[in-house]
C-alpha cells in the first residue's frame, strides 16, 4: 500500500493512513456534531435513559402514577440527581407524549420545581397536564410546586379547587390546607374535616374546627373517624361535644359495624347511659364477636 505505513499495537500490525491524512480523518470520526446528526436518524435512547424511558412509557394514564410512585421514583430520581435538567430536551425528544406527561407528574409530586419550570417555560405540556400536575403536587404536599404553578394556572373560580382541599386533607398535608386557605383558593367545605377525620389526621380536624368552625360538624367528623377506627380523633371530637348522645351513638354503631372495639370502649366509657343495642346488632351482623363480647359483659350492659 503506497499511501500507508505499518503501525504496531500490542504486537499486531495494521495499516495507517499516511501522515497528514490520519488526523483529519480521526477528527471527523470524533465530531460530536456528526454523531448527533447520525443518531438523530436512529431510534432508541442513550444507555442511561433506557430504564427511565421504559418506566415512564409503561404508565399511560397520568394519575395512575400515584399508586406506583415509589417504583417510578426509584428509577427517575438517580438520573435526575446526576443530570438535573441538562438532558431533558433530549429525553423529551425520545419519549411519546404520555411518557413526557408522566415525567411532569413525577416532578410535581416529588417537588422538583426546576423540572416543572422547564416544562412551563418551554411549553412542553398541555394545559390539562399542568392541571393534573397541580393536583398531584397538592396530593403530595408540595407547596413550592403549587406556588409556582399557581403563577401560570388561574386558580380563581377553578372547579377543581374544592377537590384539592379535600385531597390535601385526606393525605394529611396541613401546610397545603393552610396555603389554600391563605390564598383564597376555592373554599373549605364540610368535606374537608370529614376527609381528615376519616384518614385520622387530627391536626387538620383541629385546624378546621378552630379556623372554619362553620364548616366543621364535630358529630359528623366523629362518625367518619369511627369509620376507620381513629380513636384519638374520636376522643378529641367527643370532648368538644360531650353531651351529644346522638353523635356518640352513631359513632359507636359505626365503630361496632367495622369491629373497632377501642372506639366502642371509649364512647361507652364517656357515655355510660348510652343504649348499646344498636351497636351490638351491628357487631353481630358483621361478625365482630370481640365487640359483642365487650358489650355483653355484665359491667357494660345498659
Cell of residue 246, nine digits: 346522638
pLDDT at position 61 is: 47
Question: Taking the chain, what is the end-to-end CA distance rounded to the nearest angstrom?
Answer: 111
pLDDT at position 1 is: 45
How many domains, in total, are found in the chain? Answer: 3
Q: Are 259 and 288 in contact (CB under 8 A)?
A: yes
Same domain, 241 and 280: yes
Instruction: Please state the separation of Cα 130 from the chain's center in Å.
Output: 15
In a domain, 32, yes or no: no
SS3 assignment, position 200: coil
Place of cell 505505513: 5
Which tens digit of pLDDT belongs to each residue from 125-142? 888 888 989 999 999 999
Same domain, 207 and 278: no
Place of cell 390564598: 183
* pLDDT (mean) for 162-173: 94
Return the percentage of the chain with pLDDT > 70, whole number. 83
Mean pLDDT in the chain?
85
Taking the CA atoms of 288, 293, 296 and 299 in sequence, report the sign of the dihedral they define.
Answer: negative
Which tens digit of pLDDT belongs to each residue from 102-132? 899 899 999 999 999 999 998 888 888 889 8
Same domain, 55 and 151: yes
β-partners of residue 9 are: 12
Domain of residue 227: give its range: 217-301
Q: Where would I find the beta strands (DSSP E) of the chain? A: 4-9, 12-17
pLDDT at position 6 is: 46
Q: Are 68 and 59 in contact (CB under 8 A)?
A: yes
Categorise residue 201: left if φ over 0, alpha if ψ from -120 to 50, beta otherwise. beta
Same domain, 179 and 248: no
Residue among 143, 132, 133, 131 at smallest CA distance from 168: 143
Same domain, 55 and 144: yes
Same domain, 210 and 221: no
Instruction: Sort 246 into a burial class: Cβ within 10 Å, 0-12 / 13-18 / 19+.
Output: exposed
In a domain, 244, yes or no: yes
Which tens digit of pLDDT belongs to each residue from 226-245? 999 999 999 999 998 877 89
Q: Residue 215 carries which DSSP code?
A: G
In a domain, 295, yes or no: yes
In a domain, 36, yes or no: no
Please report, to the nearest 10 degrees, the dihedral formed by the alpha carbons of residues 281, 283, 289, 295 taken in order.
Answer: -70
pLDDT at position 63 is: 47
CB within 8 Å of 93: residues ≥ 6 apart: none
Which tens digit of pLDDT belongs to each residue from 169-226? 999 999 999 999 999 888 889 999 999 999 999 999 999 999 998 888 899 999 999 9
Report the 10 Å Cβ neighbour count for 56. Answer: 24
Q: Residue 66 carries which DSSP code?
A: G
Amino acid at each position: 500500500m503506497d499511501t500507508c505505513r505499518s503501525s504496531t499495537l500490542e504486537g499486531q500490525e495494521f495499516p495507517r493512513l499516511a501522515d497528514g491524512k490520519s488526523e483529519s480523518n480521526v477528527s471527523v470520526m470524533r465530531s460530536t456534531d456528526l454523531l448527533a446528526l447520525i443518531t438523530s436518524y436512529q431510534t432508541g435512547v442513550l444507555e442511561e435513559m433506557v430504564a427511565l424511558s421504559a418506566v415512564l412509557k409503561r404508565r399511560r394514564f397520568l394519575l395512575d402514577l400515584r399508586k406506583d410512585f415509589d417504583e417510578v421514583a426509584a428509577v427517575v430520581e438517580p438520573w435526575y440527581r446526576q443530570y438535573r435538567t441538562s438532558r431533558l430536551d433530549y429525553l423529551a425528544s425520545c419519549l411519546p407524549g404520555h411518557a413526557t406527561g408522566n415525567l411532569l407528574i413525577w416532578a410535581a409530586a416529588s417537588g422538583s420545581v426546576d423540572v416543572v419550570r422547564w416544562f412551563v417555560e418551554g411549553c412542553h405540556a398541555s394545559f390539562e397536564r399542568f392541571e393534573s400536575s397541580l393536583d398531584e403536587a397538592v396530593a403530595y404536599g408540595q407547596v413550592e410546586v403549587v406556588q409556582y404553578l399557581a403563577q401560570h394556572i388561574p386558580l380563581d373560580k377553578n372547579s377543581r379547587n374544592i377537590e384539592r382541599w379535600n385531597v390535601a386533607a385526606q393525605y394529611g398535608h396541613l401546610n397545603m390546607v393552610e396555603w389554600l386557605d391563605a390564598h383564597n383558593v376555592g373554599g373549605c367545605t364540610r368535606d374537608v374535616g370529614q376527609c381528615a377525620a376519616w384518614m385520622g389526621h387530627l391536626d387538620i380536624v383541629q385546624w378546621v374546627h378552630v379556623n372554619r368552625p362553620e364548616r366543621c360538624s364535630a358529630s359528623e367528623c366523629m362518625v367518619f373517624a369511627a369509620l376507620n377506627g381513629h380513636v384519638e380523633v374520636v376522643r378529641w371530637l367527643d370532648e368538644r361535644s360531650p353531651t351529644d348522645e346522638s353523635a356518640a351513638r352513631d359513632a359507636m354503631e359505626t365503630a361496632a359495624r367495622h369491629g373497632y372495639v377501642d372506639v366502642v370502649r371509649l364512647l361507652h366509657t364517656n357515655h355510660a347511659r348510652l343504649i348499646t343495642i344498636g351497636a351490638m346488632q351491628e357487631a353481630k351482623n358483621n361478625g365482630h364477636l370481640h365487640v359483642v363480647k365487650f358489650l355483653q359483659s355484665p359491667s357494660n350492659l345498659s
